[in-house]
């Protein structure tokens, strides 16, 4: 038991979670969490409540300003989800306080192969909650904070964000080039927490999370 506690403490301090992220290391906000096996890998499963509400699980003891966050994640509409559910799944970073404000880059897995170019071009999304939700960004700066990438619902996807100052880049499927570049992170160059994030009507899994902060 002592060894397990020391391993968990080391994982939190180093930002390394081989395979599933322990539920005990998460502060759950509007989600339920469990450890499952998905595509042959232990993974942390998140589901949210009903309605048009986002949910997230903040990693306890993790502080992040600039650096790299890597994970494998999958998202799909949960059973009984509304027709507009897309399997929204992502990572929130620079989380302030108890989750009142945060930056977020997420995927819309059902858009990746939709037979509709409007939906395909909205496969990935940046937001800064609560001041800059996707609706405001799409209305005021269309196409700037969204992009296309090939995705499949329920399939584990390699996801990496590189954050430096007020810039963030998203790399998917191990690609050498980012599919989304954000040059003006709305919260500014601040430190905050990291959270697993899901949107309304989503069933998601996360595995092999690695957080590498820049040296200060």
DSSP character string of 26-75:
EEEESEEEEEEEETTEEEEEEEE-SSS--EEEEETT--BSSEEEEEEEEE
Distance CA(183)–CA(206), nearest Å, equals 27
Strand order in the sheet with 146-147: 26-29, 55-59, 193-198, 89-96, 101-107, 124-129, 146-147
The pLDDT of residue 19 is: 87
**What's the pLDDT score for residue 216?**
65
Contact 147, 205 (CB under 8 A): no
Measured CA to CA in angstroms, residue 84 lies from 108, 159, 171, 179, 192 at distances of 11, 23, 25, 23, 31
Residue 84's pLDDT is: 85
pLDDT of residue 211: 97
Q: Could you tell me the residue ranges of all domains in the chain?
A: 2-213
Rounded Cα–Cα distance for residues 87 and 107 (Å): 8
CA–CA gap between residue 189 and residue 44 (Å, rounded): 29
- How much is the pLDDT for 83? 83
CA distance 94 to 116: 33
Q: Are 54 and 200 in contact (CB under 8 A)?
A: yes
Question: Nearest CA to 91 among 53, 48, 59?
Answer: 59
Amino acid 3: pLDDT = 37
Give me the residue label for tokens 């992170």.
Answer: 185
d(CA 104, CA 90): 7
Residue with tokens 């969204």: 146
Cα gap 71→172, rounded to integer Å:
10
Which residues of the chain are under the pLDDT cut of 70? 1-15, 17-18, 49-50, 216
- Contact predicate 39/207, CB 8 Å: no
* CA distances in angstroms from 216 to 73, 164, 176, 205, listed in the order given: 29, 12, 26, 32
Cα 182 off chain centre by: 15
Quick one: CATH architecture of 2-213? Sandwich (2.60)
Give the pLDDT score at 106: 98
């Amino acid at each position: 038991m002592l060894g397990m506690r020391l391993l968990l403490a080391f994982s939190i301090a180093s930002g390394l979670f081989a395979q599933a992220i322990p539920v005990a290391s998460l502060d759950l906000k509007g989600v339920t969490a469990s450890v499952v096996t998905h595509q042959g890998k232990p993974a942390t499963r998140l589901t949210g409540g009903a309605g048009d509400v986002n949910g997230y699980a903040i990693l306890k003891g993790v502080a992040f300003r600039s650096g790299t966050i890597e994970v494998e994640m999958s998202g799909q509409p949960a059973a009984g989800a509304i027709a507009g559910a897309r399997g929204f799944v992502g990572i929130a970073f620079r989380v302030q306080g108890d989750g009142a404000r945060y930056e977020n880059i997420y995927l819309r897995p059902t858009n990746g192969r939709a037979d509709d170019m409007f939906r395909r071009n909205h496969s990935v999304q940046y937001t800064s909650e609560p001041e800059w939700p996707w609706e405001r960004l799409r209305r005021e700066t269309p196409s700037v904070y969204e992009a296309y990438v090939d995705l499949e619902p329920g399939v584990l996807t390699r996801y990496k964000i590189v954050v430096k100052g007020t810039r963030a880049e998203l790399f998917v499927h191990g690609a050498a080039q980012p599919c989304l570049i954000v040059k003006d992170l709305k919260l500014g160059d601040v430190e905050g927490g990291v959270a697993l994030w899901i949107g309304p009507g989503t069933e998601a899994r996360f595995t092999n999370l690695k957080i590498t902060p820049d040296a200060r």
